[in-house]
Structure 1
Amino acid sequence: MNSNPRTRPQLVRRLTLPLLILYGLGVTVGAGIYVLVGTTAERAGIYAPISFILAAITVAFTGLAYSELSSRYPVSAGEAAYVQKGFNSKTLSLIIGLLVIASGTVSASAISIGAAAYLENFIPIAPSILTFIVVISIGLVAIWGILESVLLAAVLTVIELAGLGLVVIYGLYDEPTMLTRIPDLIPPFDPSVWGGILSACLLAFFAFIGFEDMVNVAEEVKNPKKTMPRGILLTLLSASVIYFLVVSVVVLTVPLDQLSQSAAPLQLVFHDSGEFISVLFGVIAIFATLNGILIQIIMASRVIYGLATQEKLPAFLAQVNSITHTPLKATILVCGIVLLLTYTLPIGKLAEATSSIVIIVFCLVNVALIKIKISEKTKPVDLYQVSILVPILGLFTSLFLLLAQFWL
């Protein structure tokens, strides 16, 4: 085997800006919005849409930091590379990379269980067998090729977004007078009201987690120095608009007492629409969960590949298949870890920890950018750049969210 890194198979740049945005929306606008609305409405009431706007503003600082770093260092295992550049520590860089892999594999495992549960309603097979079939099938798609797998993820994302669009359209159709009630969403200057809005904001923030995974496909993006920042920012902007529209329609359509107690709040919009909508939403939920698994497997395998190319993991994990141009061994390893977690560990508790893991990564990435900006003697050219105040604000908002979890 030729071990020369210049001649061995490499990842191929096949992703355009539209595909990158769809990939980003697929990992950001996940199943969370389908269940999160009720909880935020319980805390913020009819002002829940404002909580999502505040969450979008909060996450924007870290999103801007990621945008500059992805332009500076468009590589797989992006967060690990950023921390390596900022802290000059291979150990800390490896820890960050492993944390990102952990969050992705645990998330994929939890989603796999959910996908099997939805599929069981249509396919009479034991959930344990369905879970195995789901993970292996999605793994094969991820191995097939980055363009093919992201195209499939894009299709699934469009279906998932169509489900949210259906909520908005049906809500407006069912209650056309809703538009006249939009001023009701503007909160008064009441401390008790804003206390509930801020509390709900902490929950709404987690609906935006996922955009950071985009940096891990940077080596497969065309013109990444320009495409990556645009992709990240447009993904966050699009997600913000989608969340605001969906949440606004739900809180203006569904009685708040019903909404706050429902585990499937979006379904309440279709309270008198018949069985067809329930079946349709079940199908959409299947597509949404399959999409989540696929994107997390792609992300985790690229982080493993990136760490291996940075000589932080065994070199064989950096090998790219000459036919598919995907990191075959890294992808197989990720699928194995996902299955192991699914069958042996309490996924629920681990899944709860993924949010904390992501926020810790956010903190270190913001600090890395601050250190990079302070240490550089001359500013680089032809790169997307932000003020040093941006990562400083990103650090403080991330620390606030991390600490706030303990008293939520």
Structure 2
Amino acid sequence: MVAVTQLTRRLGTVDATAIGLGSMLGAGVFAVFAPAAASAGGAVLVALVIAGFVAYCNATASAQLAAAYPASGGTYLFGREVLGPWWGFLAGWGFVIGKTASCAAMALTFAAYAAPGWERPIAAAAVVVLTVVNCFGITRTALLTKVLLSVVLIVLVGTVALALPAAAPAGDWFTRGPLGVLQAAGLLFFAFAGYARIATLSEEVREPTRTIPRAILGALGGAMVVYLAVGVTLLLVLGPDRLAESKAPLADVLTVAGHPGLTIAVRIGAAAASLGALLALITGIGRTAMAMARNRDLPPFLATVDSRFGVPRRAEVAVGATVCVLVLLADLRGVVGFSSFGVLVYYAVANASAYRQPVSERRWPRWLNVAGFVGCVVLAVTLPFGSVLIGAGVLAVGLLARLAIRS
């Protein structure tokens, strides 16, 4: 029996956009504003705009590349095709390690809201269930993502509507310098990174030349509107100082607004958001791992596609197993900075690749690629020092391992 190594195109624009938006409106929107406010103070909205602009530059680069190379792998594939194998490996390795750690963080966040005190076993169980869902086909992944996304949007819209009437900003809003704003932008970038999932699913999208750009920019635009609404509400109701100290900002904002009994809705929303992001993350990492395995940058047996359901089952099971080990053994509360570092490296390669594309493949001006590349590098190096050090070290280990294997 011949092994299948090609995926089936099943996703339309709505499905692809939902997967991207579901990835961006994950656990980050419930947690990332607090550490960002600790770095930037009241200028957290400035940091959000900076992160959003860099994300827009990256999105245009990803959309342009994905339309030209509609196969699984995202920037791993783009880097290989345009810049060469080593650049592709750098992007792919950064994506796989950063997002695998993010999967663990999403699973633990879900468990913390859904079953306090039982975080690790419940997180592992969630990973197992969602890995099984992914193994039954991408259309089932898209359907569940849309259901979870609907729950999250209802919770966020309701929270903003109930909390805004209690707006009473207090405290000194602008006490941080430019470095703090850039650090906050790097942390907030973690929340924007979900549109990469659309590019990694390129091989499963119908009419990719038309669908992928629309889905990527649609998902990013929708996420930006939601983040701005949530950020403004948190700042106006809690103030920058209280926001920076909060462990559950959206629950706290309802309490301050006089609706403590409704914080259970935030728990439900956070749990749904975490599950939606985790589902899409496992999907995207599995596709990238499959693409790397096709080129023997990862074990070749991971490249096989299930003949019945059209998914890279071995790659997804391997990702799920790795995440289960992490949630049972590791403390990943500081994963946001590390994940942001890896993803910023990933998008720096995407911008460099898009810059090198010929005129016949271009959809946006080259200056956006330059701005995106510079923005990724600046945000990466201004993240907290520990995140930069660990991220650079893990990337170096991967590069040295590839060098040793290829020698």
What range describes the TM-score normalised by the shorter chain of this pair? 0.7 to 0.9
Note the alpha carbon deviations across 1:49-94, whole angstroms, 9 max, x for none.
33322321232212211111111111111211111122222x4423
Q: Are residue 225 (structure 1) and residue 217 (structure 2) matched?
A: no
Contact 2:337 2:383 in 1 (8 A): no
- Alpha-carbon distance between aligned partners in 2 of 1:401 and 1:99, rounded to the nearest angstrom: 15
The aligned residue for residue 392 of structure 1 is: 370
How big is the shift at 1:16? 1.3
Q: How does 1:318-397 map to 2 (within 5 A)?
A: 318-348=303-333, 352-370=337-355, 372-373=356-357, 376=358, 379-380=359-360, 385-397=363-375
Q: What amino acid sits opposite 2:14 in the alignment?
A: P
Taking structure 2 as the reference length, what is the TM-score of the superposition?
0.85
- Tell me which structure has the larger Cα radius of gyration: 1
Rounded to whole Å, the distance in 2 between the matches of 1:339 and 1:40 is 28
Distance 2:110 2:181 in 1: 32
Rounded to whole Å, the distance in 2 between the matches of 1:199 and 1:340 is 30
Q: Deviations over 1:85-126 (max 9, x none)?
A: 22222x4423432321112211112222222232324xx8x4
Q: 2:198: which partner in 1?
A: 214
Alignment of 1:68-217 (within 5 A): 68-89=64-85, 91-121=86-116, 126-172=118-164, 174-175=165-166, 200-217=184-201
Any unmatched runs of 5+ in structure 1? none
SS of the aligned residue for 1:77 comes to coil
Distance in 2, Cα, partners of 1:351 & 1:191: 23
CA shift for structure 1 position 29: 2.1
How far has the Cα of 1:352 moved from its partner?
3.6
Partner Cα distance (1:234, 1:101) in 2: 25
Name the CA shift for 1:386/1:352 in 2 (closer, same or farther; >3 Å). same
Q: Post-superposition shift, 1:164? A: 1.4
Q: Distance in 2 between matches of 1:113 and 1:211?
A: 22
Identity %: 25
1:405 aligns with 2:383: yes
Offset of residue 255 of structure 1: 3.8
| CA shift digits 1:359-387 (9 cap, x unpaired) | 111222222222x33xx4xx33xx55222
Write the distance in 1 (CA, Å) between the matches of 2:347 and 2:287: 19
Asked whether 1:250 is paired with 2:231, we answer: no
Residues 1:87 and 1:247: Cα distance change in structure 2 (over 3 Å): same
What does 1:282-301 align with in structure 2 at a 5 Å threshold? 282-301=267-286
Letter in 1 for 2:283: I
Please report how far the alpha carbon of residue 357 of structure 1 lies from its aligned counterpart in structure 2 after TM superposition. Answer: 1.0
Pairwise mapping of residues 270-309 of structure 1 onto structure 2 (< 5 A)? 270-271=254-255, 272-309=257-294
Counterpart residue number, 1:13: 9
Tell whether the 8 Å contact from 1:71 to 1:384 is kept in structure 2 after alignment: no
Counterpart of 2:140, as a letter, is E
Once the 2 structures are TM-superposed, how far is the Cα of residue 165 of structure 1 from its aligned partner?
A: 0.9
**Ranges in structure 2 where 5+ consecutive residues have no aligned partner:** 387-407
Q: Which residue of 1 aligns with 2:55?
A: 59
CA distance in 2, matches of 1:34, 1:327: 31
Residue 44 and residue 360 in structure 1: after superposition, are their counterparts in 2 closer, same or farther (change >3 A)? Answer: closer
Q: Distance in 2 between matches of 1:9 and 1:40?
A: 42
Task: Encode CA deviations 1:197-224: one digit per residue, 9 max, x unaligned.
Answer: 5554344333222222321111111111
Deviation at 1:31, TM superposition (A): 1.5
Hey, what does 2:2 align to over in structure 1?
2
Structure 1 residues 192 and 334: alpha-carbon distance in aligned structure 2, compared to 1, 3 A threshold: closer
Q: For residues 262-299 of structure 1, give each alpha carbon's deviation from its aligned partner in whole angstroms, at most 9, with x where no partner exists.
A: 12122222125445312121122211121122111111
1:101-154 residue CA offsets vs partner (Å, 9 max, x unmatched): 112211112222222232324xx8x44432332111111111111011121012
Match of 2:349, as an amino acid? L
- Measured on the aligned residues, the alpha-carbon RMSD in Å equals 2.8
- Structure 1 residue 43 displacement after superposition: 5.0
Which residue matches 2:220? 236
TM-score normalised to the size of structure 1?
0.85
Query: Number of matched residues?
Result: 383
Judged with a 3 Å threshold, the aligned counterparts in structure 2 of structure 1 residues 358 and 195 are, in CA distance, closer, same or farther, namely closer
* Distance in 1 (alpha carbons) for counterparts of 2:177 and 2:329: 44
State whether residues 225 and 384 of structure 1, in contact with CA within 8 Å, keep that contact through their aligned partners in structure 2: no
| Cα 1:135/1:205, change in 2 over 3 Å | closer
Q: Is the 8 A contact 2:107 2:274 kept in 1?
A: yes
Q: Is the 8 A contact 1:306 1:318 kept in 2?
A: yes
Q: Pick which of 251-260 and 134-143 moved more.
A: 251-260
Q: 2:404 matched to which residue of 1?
A: none
